[in-house]
Structure 1
Amino acid sequence: MLRVLTLATLFPDATRPNFGVFVERQTLGLAGLGDVEVRVVAPVGLPPFPASLAARYRALSALPAAETWKGLSVERPRFVNLPLTGGRFHAPLLARRLRPLLTRIRAQFAFDVIDAEFFFPDGPAAIALGKAFGVPVSIKARGADIHHWGHASATAAQVRAAGQAADGLLAVSRSMADDILATGIDRPVRVHRTGIDRTRFGGVDRAVARARLGIAAPLVVSLGALIARKGHRIVLDAVAALPGVHLWIVGGGPDRAALAARIADLGIGDRVRLCGSLPHDDLPDLLAAADVMALASSSEGLANAWVEALASGTPIVIPDAGAAREVVTTRAAGRIATRDSAAFAQAIAAVLSQAADPVATRATVDAYSWERNARELRDHLGALVNRYSG
């Protein structure tokens, strides 16, 4: 039996049900294999008093210290995130907080390996803990953990050191693996792609979904956190130049007010909807109903929104970022566009003008499945344990 301790600062909770939902799904798949046992440690970073009194931090503080989450045993220890330090102390403070917790866990659950699901701060903390408990460590790169933390002056050295010390490295795409190497980490990296829940995505009839949501006009969906990096403003300005085309922006975040103001300035409030954050269970209908999923991110690893849209039979329009060229391989999959509103408008119009072919679109992500994802992760972690003990 392989005993895995999953360390994930990116993991859903009652206040953030969509936060790291792909890590949750991956972990559920791994735990569902008959020869694997999993315990999850999902640390919650909080600033010191009095910043911790802010409403969003109060909600996080109220989370249970331990709970059963969708059948998984999950610990949610708090650790200190010092503001205005560029993240310099995140990993050492996390490791210090986790050491006594893992000592207690190990007395009941003799984990064989630590699986760090985000490169920072999870990765450096996992390396310190792996040495303390004498177990191998795997670190997975997903996007901003390398693109930001791997190059930021306060944390880049920590990321490189963790990458060099890890017993195994995973990346969500081939391009993400190349980005790891670009930070100066000279190690083999295994590509470990995300999965798709095909019982939900791809099983919804487009006409039925559109009727259910009351959609009649051509619809573009832009799906992601309302932050500048996701580029919703670019998609908004692009759709403004396409008469009769509607846009639903799905996500929450600090850019909501600015996007609302831009919608008012453009006078397109009748065509654009700010949907806020939606439960992940609502996305299959929405993605099936859309004609295009457009996301103008400045950086990505392999966005789950891309593959879930394609699995729903909906083409995507995205910049040449991250694994874009690994998923947009045919016209049926969509277009790769320069990251500006004019280019996005042209690409969206091109997709809308072509005959929809949901079968061909879904075929572009046939290789993605949670079952395969779970088996590959088990094999990867098991091999690390065998090498370490050998």
Structure 2
Amino acid sequence: MRVLHLGFEDPVMPGAGGGSVRTHEINRRLVSAGFQVTVLTTRYPGWRERIQDGVLYVPIGFGMGRNRLTRLLGYVVRVPIEARNRRTTTDLVVEDFFAPFSTMAAPLWTQRPTIGIVQWLHAAEKARQYKVPLQWIERLGVRKHRRLIAVSAGIADRLEALNPGLHVDVIGNGVDPGAWTPEPRLGQDVLFIGRLEYGHKGLDLLLEAWVQCCDRIDGNLLIAGTGPDEARLRAAIHDAGLSNRVRLLGWLSGDKKFQALSHARLVVMPSRHETFGLVAIEALAAGTPVIAFNIPCLREIIPDGAGWLVDAFDVAALAEEISRRYLQAGLAEASDHGRAFAAGYNWDGLADLQAEAYRNALTQLLEKGLVQQQDSYEERT
């Protein structure tokens, strides 16, 4: 099958999120199984067209994509044109949902069978942030899809509420095998890893909680990542008098990220919303318990005994939980339980599920109006 994946974010772009990791891990396994996969992404400083693990990456847009706005606008303008130009060499189009409005309603303009992958569904939150009704674009786009893949049951429920006629496959994220490589160590520090974005990732709530509990904790708060609110975060750390108790590590990936996860005492995810929460699964695989707010999606992947959930957005409760669990005996048992749970999130098995979802989608969508493509596809398969 020839797949054109509208992936938006390139996994090698500094600051790229977990969604682009999922895109690549699934796609490289599909290529190994005989698929041909081309991924269209935004441009960014240093971008180049390349083949990585058999997957062709084509950054599109204008110029170098030096900031978020130019990357977004360049992608939005160019992706329909690129999809149209490639339609004769494409069997299935895959649309990744992305910020700030989730979907461009790709089935309306791809002229090919199209399925969406939903790793981001937060247009309502962005609408409140930017004072623009982005949620209506999201709602319209979801209603134009017939089949979607959601990375969690919580997201699937929301999609089906927006479009009761949808078929939604739930296929989660996997864990890089490298997460199991470092030996877990009961460290001294509390760790946050993620995009430095206040509204989404709850960094403001984390700093407020840290002010309340850091005097009861021996280690420091380590914050790893890059993002649009880095300057704001640095200023907030200074203003709160936390410069000696908070360290910014920058963007971590690969072995450095997994070593940071395995050597932390606790990982904290203060997100206001998530579609999956890959960092939580990676932390459990690395042997470090996780503390998070009790919100949809995160509650699916933090089991009892491997981490703890706090009433959503209760800063005092978060501070108390961090200080209590930091001193708790038995963290080694929580580490073992978390690793056993994370072992179920295997990229190979998930790629098999996604390949089957693609085949089913292509068959169904061809039957519903694009039958003229069936012969050529069957000849190749």
Q: TM-score range by the shorter chain?
A: 0.7 to 0.9
Partner of 1:355: 330
Partners of 2:179 and 2:258 within 8 A in 1: yes
**Alpha-carbon distance between aligned partners in 1 of 2:40 and 2:169, rounded to the nearest angstrom:** 23
1:195 and 2:178 matched: no
**Alpha-carbon distance between aligned partners in 2 of 1:25 and 1:175, rounded to the nearest angstrom:** 22
SS where residue 343 of structure 1 aligns? Answer: helix
**Alpha-carbon distance between aligned partners in 2 of 1:105 and 1:164, rounded to the nearest angstrom:** 25
Partner of 1:38: 37
1:236 and 2:211 matched: no
**Alpha-carbon distance between aligned partners in 1 of 2:163 and 2:206, rounded to the nearest angstrom:** 34
- CA, structure 1 residues 325+14, in 2 after alignment: closer, same or farther (shift >3 Å)? closer
Q: Which amino acid aligns with 2:346?
A: S
Partners of 1:150 and 1:183 within 8 A in 2: no
Q: Which amino acid aligns with 1:129?
A: W
**Alpha-carbon distance between aligned partners in 1 of 2:300 and 2:274, rounded to the nearest angstrom:** 12
Partner of 1:56: none
Q: Which amino acid aligns with 1:11?
A: D
Superposed, 1:176-187 pairs within 5 Å as 176-183=155-162, 186-187=165-166
1:3 and 2:2 matched: yes
Partners of 1:223 and 1:305 within 8 A in 2: yes
1:128 and 2:108 matched: yes
- CA, structure 1 residues 312+15, in 2 after alignment: closer, same or farther (shift >3 Å)? closer
Superposed, 1:110-121 pairs within 5 Å as 110-118=89-97
Q: Which amino acid aligns with 1:234?
A: L
- CA, structure 1 residues 145+136, in 2 after alignment: closer, same or farther (shift >3 Å)? farther
Q: What's the CA shift for 1:155?
A: 3.4
1:105 and 2:89 matched: no
Q: What's the CA shift for 1:127?
A: 1.3
- CA, structure 1 residues 239+160, in 2 after alignment: closer, same or farther (shift >3 Å)? closer
Partner of 1:170: 149
**Alpha-carbon distance between aligned partners in 2 of 1:259 and 1:5, rounded to the nearest angstrom:** 37
Q: Any unmatched runs of 5+ in structure 2?
A: 64-68, 368-381
Judge which range, 263-272 or 150-159, deviates more: 150-159
Q: TM-score, normalised by structure 2?
A: 0.81
Partner of 1:75: 58
**Alpha-carbon distance between aligned partners in 1 of 2:267 and 2:28, rounded to the nearest angstrom:** 27
The one of 188, 195, 204 equivalent to 1:225 is: 195
Q: What's the CA shift for 1:205?
A: 0.6
Q: Which amino acid aligns with 2:194?
A: G
SS where residue 339 of structure 1 aligns? Answer: coil
Partner of 1:326: 300
SS where residue 114 of structure 1 aligns? Answer: strand
**Alpha-carbon distance between aligned partners in 2 of 1:265 and 1:98, rounded to the nearest angstrom:** 42
The Cα RMSD (Å) is 3.0
Q: Which amino acid aligns with 1:204?
A: P
Q: What's the CA shift for 1:167?
A: 3.1
Partners of 2:102 and 2:120 within 8 A in 1: no
**Alpha-carbon distance between aligned partners in 2 of 1:277 and 1:22, rounded to the nearest angstrom:** 18
Partners of 1:300 and 1:323 within 8 A in 2: yes
Q: Which amino acid aligns with 1:360?
A: H
Partners of 1:231 and 1:297 within 8 A in 2: yes
Q: Which amino acid aligns with 1:71?
A: G
Q: Any unmatched runs of 5+ in structure 1?
A: 45-59, 81-85
**Alpha-carbon distance between aligned partners in 1 of 2:139 and 2:148, rounded to the nearest angstrom:** 12
Judge which range, 12-21 or 311-320, deviates more: 12-21
Partner of 1:246: 220
- CA, structure 1 residues 94+125, in 2 after alignment: closer, same or farther (shift >3 Å)? farther
SS where residue 385 of structure 1 aligns? Answer: helix
Partner of 1:160: 139
1:137 and 2:114 matched: yes
Q: What's the CA shift for 1:347?
A: 1.4
- CA, structure 1 residues 4+273, in 2 after alignment: closer, same or farther (shift >3 Å)? same
**Alpha-carbon distance between aligned partners in 1 of 2:142 and 2:55, rounded to the nearest angstrom:** 28
Partner of 1:295: 269
**Alpha-carbon distance between aligned partners in 2 of 1:294 and 1:370, rounded to the nearest angstrom:** 24
Q: Which amino acid aligns with 1:319?
A: F
- CA, structure 1 residues 96+265, in 2 after alignment: closer, same or farther (shift >3 Å)? closer
**Alpha-carbon distance between aligned partners in 2 of 1:359 and 1:382, rounded to the nearest angstrom:** 37
Q: What's the CA shift for 1:261?
A: 3.8
Deviations 1:189-223 (A, max 9, x none): 2211001112x11221124xx7xxxx6xx211011
Q: TM-score, normalised by structure 1?
A: 0.79
**Alpha-carbon distance between aligned partners in 1 of 2:285 and 2:342, rounded to the nearest angstrom:** 6
**Alpha-carbon distance between aligned partners in 2 of 1:285 and 1:317, rounded to the nearest angstrom:** 19
Percent identity over the alignment? 23
